[in-house]
A and B are shown apart, each in its own frame.
Chain A
Amino acid sequence: EVQLVESGGGLVQPGWSLRLSCGASGFTFHNFAMYWVRQAPGKGLEWVASVSWNSAFIGYAASVKGRFTISRDNAKNSLYLQMNSLEPEDTALYFCAKDVDRYGQINFGLDVWGQGTPVTVS
């Protein structure tokens, strides 16, 4: 079964850091681009960051650029999001997702999602 499982969320104070992890199983992780997407309580989806299969291409939303870092470890089938200088506006459920494109490119077709890990900054 293709599966993504996020972990690492929690309650932190403004200015603190947090590292989210996403474990992948059931597919060839290193073949696919990966994403972080967040959803604030009662709000819509917001794209946060993208990474290509080999980490050659990485992008961030303007709201997190310079504070968040996306990375991946293909040997461990894992995706990460290092979040620094957290602000109350970062409070959200954070999802990791994989791209549908099997050539590893960032094409923004997110076909598999985890259930999310909650982050509260207060």
Chain B
Amino acid sequence: QSALTQPRSVSGSPGQSVTISCTGSNNDVGGYHYVSWYQQLPGKAPKLIIYDVTKRPTGVPDRFSGSRSGNTASLTISGLQADDEAAYYCLSYAGNYTLGVFGGGTKLTVL
């Protein structure tokens, strides 16, 4: 259960798009359709923004989108807004019906 690999930080200007990657292996990200993404503001609980690789929960703007290629999942945020500044984490199912693994987290800075 090694942590998934995310860039430690990314940045973008308001209105731009940014993509955060989440790299794992055939045993997690690349092997199953259960990758989710979370936004965490300082001092707050995480918020689900993408699940099942590409699905958005009700209420999450369509500026947030998920995708996957091979063993790397990606979160793209388009039309960046100041309140998108937060930490973002990926989470993947890792087999055996029950196992999971998070990415190390990515700090998004809106310039």
Chain A: residues with CB nearer than 8 A to chain B? 35, 37, 44-47, 50, 52, 57-59, 61-62, 95, 100, 106-111, 113-116
Contacts and interface: CB of A to CB of B under 8 A. Distances in A.
Contacts of A111: 48, 51, 57
Given A52-B97, A59-B99, 20 more contacts: A44-B102, A45-B38, A45-B102, A46-B102, A47-B100, A50-B99, A50-B100, A59-B96, A59-B97, A100-B48, A106-B93, A107-B51, A108-B36, A108-B100, A109-B51, A110-B36, A111-B48, A113-B45, A113-B47, A116-B45
Given A44-B104, A45-B89, A108-B93, A113 B98 contact: no
Given A44-B89, A109-B51, A59 B34 contact: no
Given A44-B105, A45-B105, A47-B101, A110 B48 contact: yes
Contacts of B103: 44
B7 interface: no
Q: Is the interface of B mostly helix, strand, loop or mixed?
A: strand
A15 to B, nearest CB: 25
B36 A109 contact: yes
Contacts of A62: 1
Interface of B: 1, 3, 34-36, 38, 40, 45-48, 51-52, 55, 57, 87, 89, 91-93, 96-105
B34 to A, nearest CB: 5
A60 B91 CA distance: 15
A45 B103 CA distance: 8
A71 B9 CA distance: 36
B57 A57 contact: no
Contacts of B3: 44
Nearest to A46: B102
A62 B3 CA distance: 12
A100 B51 contact: yes
A109 B52 contact: yes
A50 B98 contact: yes
11 contacts: A45-B46, A45-B89, A47-B91, A52-B97, A59-B98, A106-B98, A107-B51, A109-B52, A110-B48, A114-B45, A115-B45
Contacts of B101: 47
